[in-house]
Amino acid sequence: MAPQFEPTQVPETTDESDILREQLDYLIEHAASEAQCGCSECRRYLRVRAILLEIFGEPERGNLREMAPLPKAA
């Protein structure tokens, strides 16, 4: 009688957003607990933080277009 093998089970894929949240939580916790010691994890935290907060920065003046004044209601 031939040996019986159980089918290999493929692990369930993890949602990419879950992985990103987990990594961000890790970096925030590390930066808070280590008071930004300057290690590679702290530098990674600062890079990620800058990217995520970039949208809240002031727009560059050179990228702004002048808008025509809106017509006044009669």
**Residue 17 three-state SS:** helix
Residue-wise pLDDT for 34-73, tens only, equals 676 888 888 888 899 899 898 888 666 665 565 566 667 6
Determine phi and psi for 43, rounding to 5 degrees.
-65, -40
Q: What's residue 1's pLDDT?
A: 61
**Boundaries of every domain in the chain:** 18-55
Residue-wise pLDDT for 59-70, tens only, equals 666 655 655 666
Residues near 27 by beta carbon (within 8 Å), at least 6 away in sequence: 41, 44, 45, 48
Q: What's residue 22's pLDDT?
A: 94
**DSSP string computed for 18-71:** HHHHHHHHHHHHHHHHHT--SSHHHHHHHHHHHHHHGGGSPPPGGGPPPPPPPP
Q: What's residue 4's pLDDT?
A: 75
